[in-house]
Amino acid sequence: MIMTHAFISVMIIAVKKKIKNTFLIILGVILILFILIKQELVKSAESLTVNTFVFETDKIDNPVNVVIIGDLHNHEFGYKLPEKIKELNPDLILMAGDMIDQEKKDEYMVCTLIAELKDTAPVIYALGNHEMNYKKQFPDYLTHVTESGCTVLDQEYLDIQVNGNDVRIGALYDYPFGMADNNAETASEEIQDFIKDFCDTENIKLFIAHRPDSFVFGNVSKVYDIDIVISSHLHGGQVVVPFKGGLYGGDQGWFPKYVHGMYEKDRIHLLITSGLGSSSQKLPRFLNPPEIMALELK
């Protein structure tokens, strides 16, 4: 009887020890996961990453280095952002919209960034939805960024010499081809004339459309001959799921096909940057570091 009680006591002590050890292991795993998640959240907010894409074409005689940034949303990187861009020795800098954040109502950061970059290479600024909303409240915004040292394009194009090459750069915001079917024929006559005029050149054609969905849905990518359409807006899907990609992409929905990188689609190449920041979101960027996109034309 005494041995039985002793055995039971030993077993109880062993079970308690096992439970304690298991609890400590679970607590340790949770703590490690918390640290890793926190580190990744910081990395996805602050750790600037350069991703390089190459486009080969017989329309270019001399190599051209293009730096593409978008979706800054007034995110503060300090000196790191302009210095990182300068290190890439760009011949051309393209801003693909949502550089300002309509909620933060602060132009200083964007104007300062443009002023710091203007002597490095020509800076072309296309509008995103946040610029469109911001300039309704502050009509002088586009004047201020232009005076800082960039060229703003919206439903306009510019022919420019870059490193001895003739380059045509155009920009058009939002859904010019209609939300219902998004076909080329549904656009206004004014928009159709603009796109056709933009395409009427032997020069390489770079077209900035903040929302890529204008060229994802419908027949637009089959109708117009554009070398590269450059977009942002989707923040790389905001959260990147391992082995699946970006979680959500606006009108493309969950796990969008066209969310980040270079895609060949009908007559165009679609180049989408995951951008540098985000506005107020239900989920922060995760496994998705801020991107400076480098495009090599050769």
pLDDT in tens, 10-49: 556 666 666 766 766 676 666 676 666 677 766 777 889 9
pLDDT at 251: 85
Query: Are 19 and 60 part of one and the same domain?
Result: no
Q: Give the closest residue to 152 by CA, choosing from 171, 135, 137.
A: 171
Same domain? For 21 and 60 the reply is: no
Tell me: do 119 and 28 sit in the same domain.
no
243 and 279 share one domain: yes
| Structural domain ending residue among the three candidates 46, 68, 83 | 46
Residues 161 and 56 in one domain: yes
* Low-confidence residues in the chain, pLDDT < 70: 1-18, 20-21, 23-25, 27-31, 33-37, 41-42, 174, 178-180, 281
Let me know whether 127 and 24 are in one domain.
Answer: no
* Same domain flag for 71 and 116: yes
Amino acid letter, residue 282:
K
Which tokens in the block code for residue 214?
């204008």
Q: Is 31 in the same domain as 121?
A: no
- My answer on whether 189 and 241 are in the same domain is yes
- Rounded to whole angstroms, the Cα distance separating 293 from 298 reads 16
Q: How far apart are CA 73 and CA 102, in angstroms?
A: 8
- The domain in which residue 224 lies consists of 49-297
Q: How many independent structural domains does the chain possess?
A: 2
The model's pLDDT over 178-211, given as tens digits with 9 standing for 90+, comes to 666 778 888 889 999 999 999 999 999 999 999 9
Q: CB within 8 A of 197, min separation 6: which ones?
A: 157
The H or E element containing residue 25 is helix 2-46
User: Is residue 207 exposed (0-12), middle (13-18) or buried (19+ Cβ within 10 Å)?
Assistant: buried
DSSP 264: E
Q: Do residues 279 and 73 touch, judged by C-beta distance below 8 A?
A: yes
Instruction: Report pLDDT for 202.
Output: 95
Q: Are residues 40 and 69 in the same domain?
A: no
Q: Which CATH number is 210's domain given? A: 3.60.21
Q: Let me know whether 163 and 181 are in one domain.
A: yes
Which residues does residue 143 pair with via DSSP β-bridges, in sequence order? none
Residue 68 and residue 125 in one domain? yes
What six digits make up the tokens of 95? Answer: 């801003």
User: What is the structure's pLDDT at 15?
Assistant: 61
DSSP run (H or E) holding 199: helix 189-199
